[in-house]
Amino acid sequence: MSIALDLLAWYDQNKRDLPWRHTKDPYFIWISEIMLQQTQVETVIPYYLRFTQRFKTPQELSSASQEEVYKYWEGLGYYSRARNLQASAKMIVEEYHGKMIGDIEKLLALKGIGPYTANAIGSIAFDLNVFALDGNGLRIISRLYNMEDNIALPKTMKQIQAIGDELVKGINAGDFNQAIMDLGATICRPKNPACEKCPIVQHCLAHQQHRQDVLPINIKKKNNQDIHYITGGIYYQDQLYLIKNGPDGLLANLYGCPQYIVESPYSFVEAFKEDTGLELDVIDHVKDIKHVFSHRTWYMHVYLFKLNSASKHLYTKKEIDKLPISTAHVKVLKAIYSCLEF
């Protein structure tokens, strides 16, 4: 049998029982796909159930207050997702008579929907014959075909998308895309793939050549002059948490927001706790800011965090106006103020 048919037969018998798999309503599929962005399946389930019970249609979501929508999102983080959902629900009501349309271009026009999500909704809810490529797809296909190409390159992604498009031809692409998701989560994991349990092992060239542990090749271009920070707009009531730099270094004696070279806002929370003993909640992504110094470039990925207790490093806006702030952090503060009503 073909790769696709073997995978579909396995999915039929082994698919995870997830609440959004009991419906084909595009609205519910859309909510689940947005919640699943950067969030684990187990975390999403109770949020999905509560959210869809309260907001049963795009109409109900569009007419709710933003405050209430945020309340139902509280704890999931990345509030921009909730904001985009509501903005898109309004667009669906106003432009599409309250119904989502099974057209990839129209799905892509909705806020917060990129190519993966559009193809996932299109295939699952509307039976469109499209392949939804995400990290699982990149990894599994590059292993299946023993590809040595760097999956971080757009050229390779295109190649893998084309292979996926071929694989779904003439089959149920929605099930195939969900099967890839389940296979990637349970068997063809990033580390230690369980090839002995894999339903498509007989097709897998990486397995035949014992390359499954080294594939995919994923090399992100690094430039030593580029530094990526997670920068924290940390607030407590109407105050912001700032730190003063030491007497040496690039921004000596200037004030700014705390920042760490870490992968995610959640690692920021851990680093901050280790440094200060203080607890934070991740609230939202604010903006990505680039600041060029003469010999290096900072990429500041600014997030909003809520501090859970008072601290001596907190300042009101009035106080901050009198502090010496580095130009890079003036940009950061401006972005933060646009989200907070101080």
- Identify the residue among 32, 61, 143, 258 touching ligand SF4 (CB under 6 A): 143
Q: Which of 57, 55, 75, 76 is nearest to 65 (CA)?
A: 55
The smaller minimum CB distance to ligand SF4, of residues 140 and 179, is found at 140
Interface with ligand SF4, residue 212, by CB under 6 A: yes
Q: Where are the alpha helices (DSSP H) in the chain?
A: 3-14, 26-36, 41-54, 58-63, 66-73, 80-95, 104-108, 115-126, 135-144, 154-167, 173-186, 205-208, 265-276, 317-321, 327-337
- Residues 242/323, Cβ–Cβ less than 8 Å: yes
Site string for ligand SF4, 47-86 (x = CB under 6 A): ----------------------------------------
The smaller minimum CB distance to ligand SF4, of residues 64 and 205, is found at 205
CA of residue 257 relative to chain centroid, distance: 24
Q: Closest approach of Cβ 206 to ligand SF4, in Å?
A: 5
- Identify the residue among 195, 262, 314, 340 touching ligand SF4 (CB under 6 A): 195
- Identify the residue among 200, 230, 254, 300 touching ligand SF4 (CB under 6 A): 200
* Measured distance CA(117)–CA(327) in Å, rounded: 37
The smaller minimum CB distance to ligand SF4, of residues 109 and 195, is found at 195
Interface with ligand SF4, residue 140, by CB under 6 A: yes
DSSP 76-139: S--THHHHHHHHHHHHHHHHSTT---S-HHHHHTSTT--HHHHHHHHHHHH--------HHHHH
**Residue 99 — φ and ψ, nearest 5°?**
-120, 135
Q: Which of 19, 50, 48 is nearest to 35 (CA)?
A: 48
Interface with ligand SF4, residue 144, by CB under 6 A: yes
- Residues 188/144, Cβ–Cβ less than 8 Å: no
* Measured distance CA(49)–CA(229) in Å, rounded: 35
**Residue 89 — φ and ψ, nearest 5°?**
-60, -40
Site string for ligand SF4, 117-136 (x = CB under 6 A): --------------------
- Chain length of the chain: 342
Q: Closest approach of Cβ 195 to ligand SF4, in Å?
A: 3
Number of Cβ within 10 Å of residue 58's Cβ equals: 25
- Identify the residue among 147, 167, 187, 283 touching ligand SF4 (CB under 6 A): 187
- Residues 304/336, Cβ–Cβ less than 8 Å: yes
Interface with ligand SF4, residue 198, by CB under 6 A: yes
33 counts as catalytic: yes
The smaller minimum CB distance to ligand SF4, of residues 134 and 284, is found at 134
Q: Which of these is catalytic: 33, 94, 319, 341?
A: 33
Interface with ligand SF4, residue 201, by CB under 6 A: yes
* Measured distance CA(244)–CA(112) in Å, rounded: 36
- Identify the residue among 207, 291, 301, 329 touching ligand SF4 (CB under 6 A): 207
Binding segment toward ligand SF4, per CB under 6 A, in 13-21, 93-101, 200-208, 320-328: 200-208
The smaller minimum CB distance to ligand SF4, of residues 128 and 151, is found at 151
Interface with ligand SF4, residue 269, by CB under 6 A: no
Interface with ligand SF4, residue 188, by CB under 6 A: yes
Interface with ligand SF4, residue 206, by CB under 6 A: yes
- Identify the residue among 26, 77, 112, 193 touching ligand SF4 (CB under 6 A): 193
* Measured distance CA(141)–CA(176) in Å, rounded: 13
- Residues 259/229, Cβ–Cβ less than 8 Å: yes
* Residues at the interface with ligand SF4 (CB under 6 A): 140, 143-144, 187-188, 193, 195, 198, 200-201, 204, 206-207, 212
Instruction: Point out the residues that are catalytic.
Output: 33
